[in-house]
Structure 1
Amino acid sequence: MKRFTLLVFFHGIALTMYAQTPTTNYIPFEVNADSSATFRLLAPDAKTVALEGDVKAEKTEHSSEGLWTMTTAPHLNQSVYRYFFIVDGVKVNDPKNPMVADFRPMVDIVPKDQTLFWQQKDVPHGLLSIVYYYSKATNSTRRMFVWTPPGYFASNNKMPVLYLLHGGGDNDTNWPGQGKAGWILDNLSAEGKIVPMVVVMPDGSIPVETFASDLGNNIIPYVEANFRVWHDTPHRALAGLSMGGIETLETLLKFPDKFAYVNVMSSGWFGNKPGTYEKYDALVKAAAPTLNKTVKYFIFTTGGVSDIADKNNDLTKAVFDKYGIKSDLSKREGGHSMYVWRQNLYEFTQKIFK
Structure 2
Amino acid sequence: MKLLLGLFCLLVGSYAQAQMFNRTPTPNDTLQSTKVLDNGDVQFQIYAPEAEKVTLGGDIVPWGTKLKSEKAANGVWTIVVPNVKAGIYRYNFMVDGVKVYDPKAPDAYKTSALVDILPAGEQEFFAVRKEVPHGAVSAIQYYSETTGTMRNMQVWTPPGYNAKNNKLPVFYLIHGGGDSEMAWPGVGRAGIIMDNLLAEGKCREMVVVMPDGGMDVNLFVKDFVNDIIPYIESNYKVYTNAGNRALAGLSMGGLEVLESFMAHPDLFAYINVMSSGWFTNNKEMYETGDKRLAEIAPTLAKTVKLLKFTQGGPEDIAYANGKEMLKVFDKNGIDYEFSEMPGGHSWQVWRNDLKNFAPVLFK
Using the size of structure 2 for normalisation, the TM-score is: 0.71
Map 1:1-354 to 2 at 5 A.
14-15=53-54, 101-102=109-110, 105=113, 107-122=115-130, 123-354=132-363
**What amino acid is aligned across from residue 230 of structure 1 in structure 2?**
Y
**What amino acid is aligned across from residue 118 of structure 2 in structure 1?**
V
Residue 89 of structure 1 and its aligned partner are, at CA, apart by: 9.9
**What amino acid is aligned across from residue 339 of structure 1 in structure 2?**
Q
1:14-70 deviation line (CA, Å, top 9, x unaligned): 2489xxxxxxxxxxxxxxxxxxxxxxxxxxxxxxxxxxxxxxxxxxxxxxxxxxxxx
Residue 311 of structure 1 and its aligned partner are, at CA, apart by: 0.9
Residue 103 of structure 1 and its aligned partner are, at CA, apart by: 6.3
CA distance in 2, matches of 1:10, 1:144: 28
CA contact (8 A) 1:15 1:90 kept: no
After alignment, is 162-171 or 284-293 more displaced?
284-293
After alignment, is 234-243 or 122-131 more displaced?
122-131
CA distance in 1, matches of 2:100, 2:148: 35
CA distance in 1, matches of 2:200, 2:109: 30
Give the SS at the match of 1:298: strand
Q: Which has the higher contact order (CA 8 A, sep 6+)?
A: 2
CA distance in 2, matches of 1:9, 1:322: 48
Residue 115 of structure 1 and its aligned partner are, at CA, apart by: 2.0
**Structure 1 gap ranges (5+):** 1-7, 18-86, 94-99
CA distance in 1, matches of 2:99, 2:124: 31
Residue 137 of structure 1 and its aligned partner are, at CA, apart by: 1.5
- The sequence identity of aligned pairs, in percent, is 51
CA contact (8 A) 1:133 1:143 kept: yes
CA-based RMSD of the aligned residues comes to 2.6
Tell me the matched-pair count: 275
**What amino acid is aligned across from residue 116 of structure 1 in structure 2?**
E
1:193-234 deviation line (CA, Å, top 9, x unaligned): 111000000000110001011111111111001100001000
**Structure 2 gap ranges (5+):** 1-43, 57-94, 102-107
After alignment, is 167-176 or 114-123 more displaced?
114-123
Using the size of structure 1 for normalisation, the TM-score is: 0.72
CA distance in 1, matches of 2:315, 2:99: 26
CA distance in 2, matches of 1:316, 1:159: 33
Change (3 A) 1:217 1:9: closer
**What amino acid is aligned across from residue 261 of structure 1 in structure 2?**
Y
